Amino acid sequence: DAGVIQSPRHEVTEMGQEVTLRCKPISGHDYLFWYRQTMMRGLELLIYFNNNVPIDDSGMPEDRFSAKMPNASFSTLKIQPSEPRDSAVYFCASSFRRDRVTEAFFGQGTRLTVV
C-alpha cells in the first residue's frame, strides 16, 4: 500500500485566499484524522471521521475551517479565508479499528504558509 497520501506537500498562499488540503487514506481504513502541528501548540487534533461521518470536530479552531469526507478514499480540509496564523504543517492520518486499538498511520503532511 502507498500509505496515506497528502497533497500538496507545500502550499504558499496570500492572506484571504481559500486553501484546500487533500488526503487519501489507506484503503480499508475506517478512521481518518486531521492534525495541525505548530511550534507553539504542538500536534492538535482538528477533526476525525469514522466511516466518512464526522465524529468530533471540537478541535476545529474557527468557522473558517471545514472538512469533508465524501467517500472512503478522499477527504479535504478547507480554510476560507486563510490567515497568517494558519501557517502550520497539517497532517492527515488513517486507522483501522482492529481489536479496539487505534494505530494511526500518518501522511507526509502539507506545509502551509500564509503570507
Partner 1 sequence: AQSVTQLGSHVSVSEGALVLLRCNYSSSVPPYLFWYVQYPNQGLQLLLKYTSAATLVKGINGFEAEFKKSETSFHLTKPSAHMSDAAEYFCAVSGNYGGATNKLIFGTGTLLAVQP
E strand spans, the chain = 5-7, 10-13, 19-24, 31-38, 42-50, 53-56, 65-71, 74-79, 88-95, 105-106, 110-114
Site for partner 1 contains 4 (CB under 8 A) = yes
Q: Which of 79, 93, 112, 114 binds partner 1 (CB under 8 A)?
A: 93
Task: List CB contacts of 20: < 8 A, sequence separation 6 or more.
Answer: 76, 77, 78
Q: Which of 29, 48, 60, 69 binds partner 1 (CB under 8 A)?
A: 48
Task: List CB contacts of 98: < 8 A, sequence separation 6 or more.
Answer: none
> Binding-site residue total for partner 1 (CB under 8 A)?
26
Site for partner 1 contains 27 (CB under 8 A) = no
Site for partner 1 contains 56 (CB under 8 A) = yes
Q: Which of 31, 66, 73, 78 binds partner 1 (CB under 8 A)?
A: 31
Residues that bind partner 1 (CB under 8 A): 4, 31, 33, 35, 42-43, 45, 48, 50, 55-56, 91, 93, 95, 97, 99-109
